[in-house]
Amino acid sequence: MSITLNDTIAALATPMGVGGIAVLRLSGPRAWEIAQTLATPPNPPSSPREQGENRANTAHFARILDDNGSLVDEVVVTFFREPRSYTGEDVVEISCHGGRYAAARILQMILAGGARMARPGEFTERAFLNGKLDLAQAEAVAGLIHARTERAGRAAARQLAGGLSEKVRTMRSRILDLLALLELELDFSEEDVQFQTEASRRSTLSELEREMRALADTFQRGRLMREGVRVAIVGAPNAGKSTLLNALVEEERAIVSDEPGTTRDVVEARIELAGQEIILQDTAGAREASGRVESEGVTRTRRAVEHADLVLLLLDVSDPHWPTDDVLRLLCKRRVILVLTKMDLWPEALAEKRDLPRGLAPLAMCAVSALHKQGLEPLLEELVRIVLGEATGKDEIVVAEARHHDSLVRAIASIERAREQLGEPTLMASDLRDAVNALGEIIGETVGEEILERIFSKFCIGK
């Protein structure tokens, strides 16, 4: 990809389909010129100055006509003159009626007028290149668009507002200050001048490392906010897995039958608890498979357990059967809630603590009757307690991108090496530069074109 800012790009900024309005966006040096050739105002401006300057950063009603003079649509044209726009360039947004015809026809006319189709994320990429957003803020735009829950949306909004960038810049600035004093000493090495004591440097590096580790440690929570918490529902055949899934999502998502082995694949459903997305996975009964299809289902059960953030292990106490030994071995390494099912069918005495397989240490135990909707609230409360055990503060900044976490890990390693090289100023300076560059990658101070292409290619067209 060759980055260029001297052409004008256009795209539909809203999803295609039936709706009240659709918005088309143009950005670049010819944005206003192209829009003028299409949108005819009812009362044309009397001079070029009124046509341009007086209409900047305002919205106006206009009609768009085709080559035959027939009306395509009545629209609202909003003109943002650079640099007071999203991209930092001249930007025009045309709001037309929703539906397939008007938006597609107007976009066709815009492209025929000299604009080219924008690549995915190219508007936000131009905002970054023109200094309207740093790279972490640009990535937060995509995070906010794709946020499905309150927690994910709040985290992306804090990042968009510059919370993460400010933390990174502050840490990077402190390293640069340290590096400047160190390089000054190297310049005066023959005069044996010391601008900072070794103890002071050690203290600063230790403090920086603690701050970086604290930020890096938020990655797991940030990832779960963004991607959702994967909860695998596991148990022997007929333990009540599908019935529980249907009860939790309050709809018939999985087939329920008395016949063992009904579920052959992983069935997913999503719910939201306390602002956090929970991805429930109903899995095949973990037993010795009787055929190739069931064998593949059990294999997928193991895979679901391996990738789960939390497991609900179901046990029908009236007919207790644990999953197969290989699945149990996997469960011993995961976070597990033991769910005793079909409580309406067994005496209360059976609800007492049962002997558990060796190595299995559940975080909690609940009893439910999914069929009669009994015990579901306590189970959901345990889910919330475990999933959100480390509650994120309202204004806390978290790391949600693997790229940011990787940069922090590399910066921490560089700071550790620098602390070990306190007696070797030249080597220490090299390690500090590595830390500065690693942190710079997060906000886009030190990032290559290849990384930019990878980041913005994940955006939708029109953003």
Q: Which two tokens stand for residue 435?
A: 């830390």
Give the residue from 101, 131, 161 where a domain finishes.
131
- Please give the pLDDT value at position 257: 47
Compute the average pLDDT of residues 306-311: 91
Residues 202 and 351 in one domain: no
Strand partners, 231: 280, 310
Residues 245 and 120 in one domain: no
d(CA 141, CA 162): 11
Give the residue from 131, 160, 195 where a domain finishes.
131
Give the CATH number for residue 357: 3.40.50.300
Q: Give the range of the structural domain holding residue 279, as residue numbers without chain letter.
A: 230-387
Residues 261 and 306 in one domain: yes
| Sheet (strand 364-367) strand order | 267-273, 276-282, 229-235, 310-316, 336-341, 364-367
d(CA 422, CA 230): 45
Average pLDDT score over the chain: 84
Q: Are 226 and 446 in contact (CB under 8 A)?
A: no
Model pTM score: 0.80
With b for 16 or more beta-carbon neighbours within 10 A and e for fewer, the 93-127 pattern comes to bbbbebbeebbeebbebbeebebeebbbbbbbbbb
Strands 229-235 and 276-282: parallel
Quickly tell me which residue has 């976490």 as its tokens: 405
- Please give the pLDDT value at position 293: 54
Reported as a pLDDT band with limits 50, 70 and 90, residue 458 is: confident
Residues 214 and 238 in one domain: no
Residues 255 and 334 in one domain: yes
Compute the average pLDDT of residues 447-454: 81
Q: Which two tokens stand for residue 432?
A: 């500090």
Residues 124 and 18 in one domain: yes
Residues 55 and 108 in one domain: yes
Compute the average pLDDT of residues 144-156: 88
Strands 336-341 and 364-367: parallel
Q: Are 168 and 208 in contact (CB under 8 A)?
A: no
Reported as a pLDDT band with limits 50, 70 and 90, residue 446 is: confident
Give the residue from 81, 106, 131 where a domain finishes.
131
Is position 358 within any domain?
Answer: yes
Strands 267-273 and 310-316: unpaired
Number of other CB atoms surrounding residue 284 within 10 Å: 27
Residues 102 and 195 in one domain: no
Helix (H, G, I), strand (E, B) or coil at 74: strand
Which span out of 12-26, 107-121, 331-345 was modeled with the highest average pLDDT? 107-121
Is position 40 within any domain?
Answer: yes
Is position 181 within any domain?
Answer: yes
Which span out of 91-100, 249-258, 383-392 was modeled with the highest average pLDDT? 91-100
Give the CATH number for residue 179: 1.20.120.430
- Please give the pLDDT value at position 160: 93
Compute the average pLDDT of residues 336-352: 73
Compute the average pLDDT of residues 243-252: 86
> In this predicted structure, which of 65-74, 171-180, 444-453 has the lowest mean pLDDT?
444-453
Residues 335 and 275 in one domain: yes
Report the domain count for the chain. Answer: 3
Residues 95-104 pLDDT 10s: 999 988 999 9
Is position 180 within any domain?
Answer: yes
Is position 123 within any domain?
Answer: yes
Q: Are 454 and 200 in contact (CB under 8 A)?
A: no
CA dihedral 309, 311, 312, 314 (to 10 degrees): 170
Residues 161 and 306 in one domain: no
Percent of the residues in the chain that have a pLDDT greater than 90, as a whole number: 44
Strand partners, 64: 39, 73
**What residues contact residue 33 under an 8 Å CB cut-off, 6+ apart?**
none
Percent of the residues in the chain that have a pLDDT greater than 70, as a whole number: 85
Residues 240 and 302 in one domain: yes
Is position 457 within any domain?
Answer: no
- Assess whether the previous peptide bond of 42 is cis (omega < 30° from 0): no
- Please give the pLDDT value at position 357: 83
With b for 16 or more beta-carbon neighbours within 10 A and e for fewer, the 337-347 pattern comes to bbbbbbbeebe
Residues 125 and 25 in one domain: yes
Strand partners, 310: 231
- Rg, C-alpha atoms of the chain: 29
Give the CATH number for residue 56: 3.30.1360.120
Asked whether residue 191 carries a pLDDT value surpassing 90, the answer given is no
Helix (H, G, I), strand (E, B) or coil at 386: helix
Separation in Å, CA 43 to CA 37, 39, 50, 97: 15, 12, 12, 21
Is position 459 within any domain?
Answer: no
Residues 11-51 pLDDT 10s: 999 988 888 899 999 999 999 999 999 987 765 554 444 55
Better-predicted residue by pLDDT, 128 or 253: 128
With residue 420 as reference, give the H or E element that holds it. Answer: helix 402-420
Q: Which two tokens stand for residue 434?
A: 């590595």
d(CA 3, CA 10): 16
Better-predicted residue by pLDDT, 163 or 194: 163
Asked whether residue 193 carries a pLDDT value surpassing 80, the answer given is no
- Please give the pLDDT value at position 254: 57
Is position 187 within any domain?
Answer: yes
